């Protein structure tokens, strides 16, 4: 799998991601580029310096910024790995479950905001969902290198599993109580629905509660990643008071 762009490549290097080959534009001379190159050399990564036109041909999206890396496929974890990570930090679990998000830009943005908000891990379904691909990694601006992502066969079974482990599960949906009145402290998982249908009916019913964001305009829904960010940071506010 290829990743491209300064942030994505730099964070992959810093996070210890296995990089089989790093292609760098010969024209890069600035300090930021030199820092990335030095970090790659310190890890023994094979670097090839090429003309910008060669990177343009190899780039999938034309946004390489002079850096393209061949990496191993994204490594998913298990739900238990996420819970153990939270335990190791001495923190109550804080998870996000994506119920059918299919847009890679949305998933990339979710990974970025969850990493910034201190979420311990993101859970996605194996089917009817975008995987962590090159676009997701690029849009995440490096966050994909640090965020734990679990793929599960069944979201509803995962909700049940978390509830059995005393994790309180909220669904984010228009028909719920205001997120500003809900208690988002403690062991918590937030379910964010897909772009088209939102949180599925059975999943919503399995959750311990439903929270919503106030809407004052003519449009009655938010982009999945925007809604996720708003709910996460209300949880952050409550958890850091």
What b/e sequence results for 4-42 when a residue is b if at least 16 CB atoms lie within 10 Å of its CB, and e otherwise? bbbbbbbbbbeeebebeebbbbeebeeeebeebbeebee
Give the pLDDT confidence score for residue 211 in this predicted structure.
95
What is the domain partition of the chain in residue ranges? 2-71, 79-239
Q: According to the model, what pLDDT value does residue 17 have? A: 82
pLDDT score of 189:
98
Could you tell me the pTM of the whole model? 0.81
Q: Residue 26, Cα to own-chain centre: how many angstroms? A: 32
- Choose which CATH entry (3.30.1330.30, 3.30.1280.10, 3.40.640.10, 3.50.50.60) describes domain 2-71: 3.30.1330.30
- Burial group, residue 178, by CB count within 10 angstroms (0-12, 13-18, 19+): exposed
CATH code reported for the domain at 79-239: 3.40.1280.10
| pLDDT tens for each residue of the chain, 241 residues long | 888 888 889 988 888 888 889 999 998 889 999 999 999 999 899 999 999 999 898 887 778 899 999 887 788 999 999 999 999 999 999 999 999 898 999 999 999 999 999 999 999 998 888 889 888 988 888 899 899 999 999 999 999 999 999 999 999 988 889 999 999 999 999 999 987 778 899 999 999 999 999 888 777 677 889 999 999 999 999 999 8
Taking the C-alpha atoms of residue 149 and residue 98, their distance in angstroms, rounded to an integer, is 11
Residue 192: phi and psi, rounded to 5, are: -110, 130
């Amino acid at each position: 799998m290829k990743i491209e762009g300064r942030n994505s490549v730099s964070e992959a290097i810093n996070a210890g991601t296995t990089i089989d080959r790093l292609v760098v534009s010969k024209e890069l001379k600035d300090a930021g580029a030199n820092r990335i190159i030095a970090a790659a050399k310190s890890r023994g990564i094979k670097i090839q310096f090429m003309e910008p036109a060669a990177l343009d041909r190899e780039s999938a999206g034309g946004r390489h910024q002079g850096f393209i890396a061949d990496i191993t496929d994204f490594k998913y974890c298990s739900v238990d790995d996420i819970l153990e990570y939270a335990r190791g930090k001495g923190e109550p679990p804080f998870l996000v479950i994506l119920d059918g998000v299919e847009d890679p830009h949305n998933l990339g943005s979710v990974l970025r905001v969850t990493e910034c908000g201190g979420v311990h891990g993101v859970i996605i379904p194996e089917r009817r969902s975008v995987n962590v691909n090159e676009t997701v990694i690029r849009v995440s601006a490096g966050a994909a290198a640090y965020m734990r992502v679990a793929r599960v066969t069944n979201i509803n079974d995962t909700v049940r599993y978390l509830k059995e482990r005393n994790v309180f599960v909220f669904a984010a949906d228009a028909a719920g109580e205001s997120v500003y009145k809900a208690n988002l402290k403690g062991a918590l998982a937030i379910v964010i629905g897909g772009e088209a249908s939102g949180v599925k009916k059975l999943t919503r019913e399995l959750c311990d509660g439903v929270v919503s964001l106030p809407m004052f305009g003519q449009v009655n829904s938010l982009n999945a990643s925007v809604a996720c960010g708003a709910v996460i940071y209300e949880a952050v506010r409550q958890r850091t008071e």
